[in-house]
């Protein structure tokens, strides 16, 4: 086998559990591309079953091409199945690698054998798409089926998500560069400054100013009160209250720096209760909204309090994913009302947030309670709820 092709042994039956099919960010995004482009949810369901039960043979990955022999459950015939994805052009790779070379963290991660998922945004800044989008994956199979994809191509595509879970460099190989080629080119772009020729001062001052790097992303919102200086007791001053106010002021300042819209009085009250047990102890009626806040801030609070109707395409995509996420017909039936999907007879509910994520809820004495952080897709959220 050539150096620009990699072979992977077949996955045995029962390699992965039911529920969410991929574990990594790369794997989930690959699955999203496969399912968004599918025209028949039934073929996706068969493909998941074939993938889990070991009907896919060894997989060969090369630039622009995935290939495997997939056995058919009904007639036990082995079909040759191929899925193609256009490699990046040389110019596209140059733009991408030039962009990566400006970010020391990306270079260090790649040289260390890691592929950070924000590499996708770096590629987008260079006008390059790393992950496939709708229509990018082109399945072909020797079976008589006409569906796009057929169940054999779907099974192959789902198992590729497992490969990406273990080694996201597989995606870069599909796009046209082996791991060694990529690292060699990065080494060339990361030449030490000492190797460059001396630059006269006049030439240096005449050169145009280089663009400054992007500022680092802001830290995520805290899930517990920020540390504040100890406040000594004083007449008319409650140190505990002053510490709470100082922590709250720091959070408001963070919102302003990151461009967040101004909080309402209600949102500020809920955030105080979520982050400060003293406040919640005095206002126990805020227990439910405060719990929602801990799982996603303003968006999670909106999910708790507001019902809205997503676009039909979003609902259809969720139905297809849930239908394909379970073997046979053992998946729960859903009562769908707007963005709220209630699994009949299970006491659990999924709520789609305006951020595109799925928030898990559980029925407790007739009240729906948020029970965990959101998931990027309904299958993962439901699998975690039912586990």
pLDDT digits (tens, 9 = 90+) for 143-158: 998 888 899 999 999 9
Distance CA 64, CA 83 (A): 8
Whether residue 86 contacts residue 64, with contact meaning beta carbons closer than 8 Å, is answered with yes
Candidate ranges 13-17, 33-37, 80-84, 196-200; pick with highest mean pLDDT: 80-84
What pLDDT shows up at residue 194? 37
Per-residue pLDDT reduced to its tens digit, 193-250: 333 456 666 666 666 766 777 766 666 655 555 555 566 777 766 666 666 677 667 7
Sign of CA dihedral 296, 358, 125, 259: negative
Distance CA 329, CA 326 (A): 7
- Backbone φ and ψ of 130, nearest 5°: -85, -50
Copy the structure tokens of residue 109. Answer: 């991660």
pTM listed for this prediction:
0.51
DSSP, collapsed to helix, strand or coil, labels residue 122 as helix
Residues of the chain with pLDDT > 90, as a percent, come to 30
Distance CA 369, CA 125 (A): 40
Sign of CA dihedral 265, 270, 276, 279: positive
Alpha helices in the chain (DSSP H): 25-37, 41-52, 90-101, 104-111, 119-125, 151-166, 169-174, 179-189, 201-206, 239-257, 265-275, 277-282, 287-294, 297-305, 312-324, 378-386
Chain position carrying tokens 């091409």: 65
Residues 21-27 have a mean pLDDT of 83
183 exposure class (CB count in 10 Å sphere: 0-12, 13-18, 19+): middle
Per-residue pLDDT reduced to its tens digit, 57-93: 999 999 999 999 999 988 889 999 999 999 999 888 8
Residue 121 has pLDDT above 60, yes or no: yes
The set of residues, in sequence order, having a beta carbon less than 8 Å from that of 141 and lying 6+ positions away, is 70, 79, 80, 81, 82, 149, 150, 152, 153
Mean pLDDT estimate for the chain:
82
Strands 367-370 and 358-364: antiparallel
């Amino acid at each position: 086998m050539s150096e620009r092709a990699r072979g992977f042994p077949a996955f045995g039956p029962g390699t992965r559990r039911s529920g969410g099919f991929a574990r990594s960010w790369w794997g989930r995004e690959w699955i999203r591309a496969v399912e968004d482009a599918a025209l028949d949810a039934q073929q996706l369901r068969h493909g998941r079953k074939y993938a889990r039960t070991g009907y896919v043979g060894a997989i060969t990955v090369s630039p622009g091409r995935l290939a495997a022999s997939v056995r058919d459950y009904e007639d036990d015939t082995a079909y040759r199945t191929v899925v193609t994805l256009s490699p990046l052009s040389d110019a596209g790779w140059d733009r991408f690698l030039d962009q990566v070379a400006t970010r020391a963290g990306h270079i260090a991660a790649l040289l260390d054998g890691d592929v950070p998922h924000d590499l996708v945004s770096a590629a987008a800044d260079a006008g390059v798409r790393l992950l496939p989008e709708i229509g990018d994956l082109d399945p072909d199979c020797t079976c008589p089926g006409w569906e796009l994809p057929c169940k054999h191509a779907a099974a192959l595509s789902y198992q590729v998500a497992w490969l990406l879970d273990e080694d996201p460099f597989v995606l870069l190989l599909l796009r046209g560069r082996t791991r060694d080629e990529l690292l060699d080119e990065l080494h060339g772009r990361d030449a030490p400054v000492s190797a460059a020729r001396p630059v006269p001062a006049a030439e240096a001052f005449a050169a145009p100013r280089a663009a400054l790097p992007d500022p680092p992303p802001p830290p995520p919102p805290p899930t517990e009160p920020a540390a504040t200086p100890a406040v000594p007791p004083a007449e008319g001053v409650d140190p505990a209250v002053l510490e709470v106010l100082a922590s709250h002021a720091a959070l408001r300042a963070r919102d302003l720096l990151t461009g967040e819209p101004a909080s309402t009085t209600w949102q500020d009250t809920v955030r105080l209760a979520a982050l400060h047990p003293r406040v919640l102890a005095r206002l126990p009626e805020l227990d439910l909204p405060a719990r929602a806040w801990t799982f996603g801030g303003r968006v999670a609070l909106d999910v708790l309090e507001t019902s809205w109707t997503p676009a039909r395409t979003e609902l259809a995509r969720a139905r297809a994913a849930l239908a394909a996420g379970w073997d046979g017909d053992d998946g729960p039936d859903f009562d769908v009302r707007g963005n709220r999907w209630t699994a009949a007879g299970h006491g659990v509910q999924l709520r789609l947030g305006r951020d595109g994520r799925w928030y898990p809820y559980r029925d407790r004495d007739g009240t729906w309670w948020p029970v965990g952080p959101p998931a990027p897709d309904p299958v993962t959220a439901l699998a975690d709820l039912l586990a």
